[in-house]
Structure 1
């Protein structure tokens, strides 16, 4: 009887060992399959365009595209592209046109981005930093007053720093266009939002005072993330050299494109 019990125990042990071996093999197969899927995903990511300029090459249509910027954590993201202005290939980073989106937001919103890619939105400072540091970018700003007057300003070297340096506007390069230069004065300034005062004004919190978010100094020559339709001095969509401080723009779009020459 004792020998029978011992035999049964040995049989159970062998069976358990076989089950464990099968389970280990199953888990190993799962991990291998997962590794293969990750490799496939990464290979596909590497094939994605890094900008609207690459995505729209040869295309005649503006659209929403998925791009991959290595500087941005390796994660692809969607962007709105403009293929019509000045040769096309522009990635839209800010768009204002009807007041449907609230731009008076906190730091975290501007860090990650917000809004509707098909309408009003802001791309996000993390993405903007990644794109402007991965490749030299030119910046195009187009605007329109409520009276229908249109203008643009082009900068040939736009770059911002990372969050650790408060997304400082490091350079804008040389300005050209018919709207006038209302951005160079902000160069070297940190980004400010209603909950993060990084301006150098000693009496005011510029983002709160002018109901926006920007690279405020003390305080601004431009305020394209201001309150839509507000004609109170400096609080609306302002590009000082074009529409002054009390005639909030009806439309404003900021877009970037890799500098190719």
Structure 2
């Protein structure tokens, strides 16, 4: 369907390029083609509406499966037939995971179709500027509303593609949350969890502030440990760290399977996966470390409050000479300082951006 629409638009552009702009017959022909495209787009919207209804039905099926799973687990607890019911419970859990994966895939396909339709209509409007296209307003409005609704239901930035913008997504067990989506730094669909480039605000913060997040999406900010936990525990994520020093040199560190624990684990850095990049691996030393702040020292291997010494909040560990301090103090010049926002050798950085993206995106590109 999308291929046919692109062929039609290409033909439209060729006709416009070789014909005089003031020829009324050509203009009439172009408007007829536009009307046909509008009809096809409306048919596509109706098709997407049916798919959304199917998704909602599958979500209800998942709720039923979860309810049945709960009943089985309660039954196991009262009858003592744990081993006999384990197979059924595991089967239900796998079924729920499969259905959830199908729903996510369908939603992403719908978003791609909607993005294509919106681009086509924008191109047609620009090309036919000054001419009236019947019903084009309502069609564009319905597509835009559908995109907003879809993004609000998504739990990641994949629907935003290569756009870099603020969007509202559904954080598991938290709800609708505004986040910064980045489609330029490392490719499409990344979500910014930490960004620093001008030193405001100060990252020397309390445990509660790091848990809840702070700063502004348009400036320096930290997304919050609880939000980060909910995101990375909902499905496997990769982590991308973009670094720039005061000489303008840029480098990156990428980890294939990033996950942290909940507050009951002190937001322990549980997984990192495989490393790749040009900056060198300086985060693996923090693996299995708990997060520490000046008012909650969870660095069990240290003899002092590491967060105070390093002027930040991080997954500090005993031998920090081999680690990094990306939430340390911001200097607006290059210096070697133990408190500096640094990746290695305590050397201050000009800017840092930390991003995450669902791991499945690696196999979709």
What band does the TM-score fall into relative to the shorter chain? 0.7 to 0.9
Superposed, 1:15-54 pairs within 5 Å as 48-54=153-159
Question: What SS does the corresponding residue of 1:204 show, helix, strand or coil?
Answer: coil
What runs of 5+ residues in structure 1 fail to find an aligned partner? 1-43
Superposed, 1:1-261 pairs within 5 Å as 48-54=153-159, 56-57=160-161, 60-70=162-172, 72-73=173-174, 75-220=175-320, 221-229=323-331, 231-240=335-344, 244-245=345-346, 247-260=347-360, 261=363
Change (3 A) 1:177 1:186: same
> Which residue is equivalent to 2:131?
none
Question: What SS does the corresponding residue of 1:76 show, helix, strand or coil?
Answer: strand
Question: What SS does the corresponding residue of 1:223 show, helix, strand or coil?
Answer: coil
Q: Deviations over 1:96-119 (max 9, x none)?
A: 101011100000000000001011
CA contact (8 A) 1:45 1:76 kept: no
Question: What SS does the corresponding residue of 1:133 show, helix, strand or coil?
Answer: helix
Of structures 1 and 2, the one with the larger relative CO (CA 8 A, separation 6+) is 1
The alignment covers a number of residue pairs equal to 209
Change (3 A) 1:208 1:232: farther
- Provide the alpha-carbon RMSD of the alignment: 1.7
Q: Distance in 2 between the 1:66 and 1:198 partners?
A: 33
Q: Distance in 2 between the 1:111 and 1:86 partners?
A: 26
Q: Deviations over 1:148-187 (max 9, x none)?
A: 1110010000000000110000011010000000001100
> Which residue is equivalent to 2:3?
none
Change (3 A) 1:47 1:214: closer
Q: Distance in 2 between the 1:239 and 1:206 partners?
A: 16
Change (3 A) 1:219 1:96: farther
Q: Distance in 2 between the 1:224 and 1:216 partners?
A: 11
TM-score in terms of structure 1 length: 0.76
Q: Deviations over 1:54-95 (max 9, x none)?
A: 3x03xx42000000022x33x210100101133221100000
What runs of 5+ residues in structure 2 fail to find an aligned partner? 1-148
Which structure features the higher share of strand residues? Answer: 1
TM-score in terms of structure 2 length: 0.55
> Which residue is equivalent to 2:40?
none
Once the two structures are TM-superposed, the CA of residue 45 in structure 1 deviates from its matched residue by 8.8
Q: Distance in 2 between the 1:155 and 1:83 partners?
A: 18
Change (3 A) 1:68 1:206: same
